[in-house]
Amino acid sequence: MERDVVVVGSGAREHAIVHGLAQSGATVWATPGNAGMAEEAEIFAAATPAEMVQFFGSRRPLVVIGPEAPLAAGWSDALREEGFPVVGPSARGALLESSKRLAKEVMRNYGVPTAEAKTAYNPDQLAAWVGAETRWPKVFKQSGLAQGKGVRILADPVEALATVEQWRELPQIWQDGILYEDFLTGYELSVQVVTNGHEYEWLPVARDYKRLTPDPKSPNTGGMGAVAPILDLDANAVDRINRQVFDPIMTYLTEEKILYRGVLYAGLMMTDDGVQVLEFNVRMGDPETQAVIPSLAVDWWEFWLALSHGQVPKVPPPHRAAVAVVMAAQGYPEKPVSGLPIRLGDALPDTLLYHAATTKRQGGWESDGGRVLTIVGLADSVPEARGRAYARVRRVQFPDSYHRPDIGE
């Protein structure tokens, strides 16, 4: 079988997946892709599964779907029906991410520990709950997909009511509701498993940095950096997470006969009372992927192909530590400025540079979105990897950009 593979997506996560596949000798296509991927993949346009079928004719390459939106839209179902081997859950499986309301119901029904929450379907209902609340802070979560920006941690009623009024102008977000959730304290972990819906294997544990700045009151983002592996989980903690989180979800997927061949991501809060699930994602995290992929020495073609056929590939221990630092455009996350010139500078050993939102023009690279680049340092330890990542960041000339200075501290 030829090592042909398509990666669906356009961000730094997908660039990391493309890079891993290219390193394994695969012939890689990407749709819609980005300019940075073009050095390792053929970029083509396919806005629908039908357009992908048309593009490949009788050929049926492996397909790895990166982002959540095409999974929620049923791309994996449509492509499997056409005979493509696909990494990614069915649309029913994707509801664990595309409907946080449904995910809460599943967690309640299957005994998965998570914060107490109720769902408001209109602004007045949510405002009334805020007015009656005596315990702060509280959390608002848009139930539908929001690209990592649909969560607000509100310190007091003033902040909460201001958010209600801001969201009042967005009628689409109320269709599946807004979760009104208890606030949890502890430290966060990103635990990702590859699974066929019955069995699973852990990928290296990562930690991501969601806030725009080190200030805990700064805005939530899609993620400003990540570190892998995180080694401070002992065997008892791993066993507890399996028993309380992943085993019940496997039972749910099995009982409901939901096709799931892909990655299941559990965003966890490790509290004084034990593990609590903040959210599920039905694909690899961004920017966790940019740290996890290069930390593993595997043949990524064989790895993803096995998963597409319902086999759970073995995950070896990580062979290196990785620290990933996101460089964002001025104005991110609210109004990122596009068209800013970028000089990537000279490469450094044991570093990688993944593109997320760039365009290539005659004069060089320009920004074309919010999170523009992810720089990764690799080493035998996190401190060494961190030093290499920031040394590479300093080589990039990107005016008015921002990156967090504390990734991996």
Answer with the one of 281, 308, 335 that is the final residue of a domain.
Answer: 308
- Looking at 280, 308, 336, the residue that finishes a domain is 308
Residue 109 lies in a domain: no
Question: Once rounded to an integer, what is the mean pLDDT over residues 4-9?
Answer: 98
When pLDDT is cut at 50, 70 and 90, the band that residue 1 belongs to is low
Beta bridge partners of 354: 374
The number of domains in the chain is 4
pLDDT tens digits for range 333-388: 989 999 999 999 999 999 999 999 999 988 799 999 999 999 999 999 999 999 99
- Specify whether 51 is located in the same domain as 18: yes
Residue 105 within a domain: no
Q: Are 31 and 43 in contact (CB under 8 A)?
A: yes
Domain of 29, CATH number, reads 3.40.50.20
Q: Which of 182, 200, 221 is the last residue of a domain?
A: 182
> Where is 100: in which H helix or E strand?
helix 100-110
| pLDDT tens string 226-279 | 999 998 889 999 999 999 999 999 999 999 999 999 999 999 999 999 999 999
DSSP 167-208: HHT-GGGGSS-EEEEE---SEEEEEEEEESSS-EEEPPPBEE
> Span 376-405, mean pLDDT?
97
For residue 333, whether the previous peptide bond is cis, meaning omega lies within 30 degrees of 0, is: yes
Same domain, 257 and 278: yes
The parent domain of residue 333 ranges over: 321-395
Q: What is the mean pLDDT of residues 113-128?
A: 97
Domain identity same for 128 and 157: yes
Statement: residue 61 has pLDDT above 70: yes
> What per-residue confidence (pLDDT) applies to 354?
98
Predicted confidence at residue 62, as pLDDT, reads 98
Q: Domain check: are 171 and 191 in the same one? A: no
Nearest to 151 by CA among 117, 192, 187: 117
Q: What is the edge-to-edge ordering of all strands in the sheet holding 207-208?
A: 207-208, 225-228, 321-328, 371-379, 351-355
CA angle 62, 354, 38 (to 5 degrees): 55
Please check whether residues 284 and 374 belong to one and the same domain. Answer: no
Residue 289 and residue 198 share a domain? yes
Token pair in block for residue 71 = 């999974």
Do 44 and 159 belong to one domain?
Answer: no
CATH number at residue 198: 3.30.470.20
* Cα angle 321, 388, 201; round to 5: 20
pTM of this prediction? 0.95
The whole-chain average pLDDT of the chain stands at 96
Let me know whether 391 and 354 are in one domain. Answer: yes
Beta strands in 294-387 (DSSP E): 321-328, 341-342, 351-355, 358-361, 364-367, 371-379
Q: What is the DSSP string of 40-89?
A: TSEE---SSHHHHHHHHTT---EEEE-SHHHHHTTHHHHHHHTT--EES-
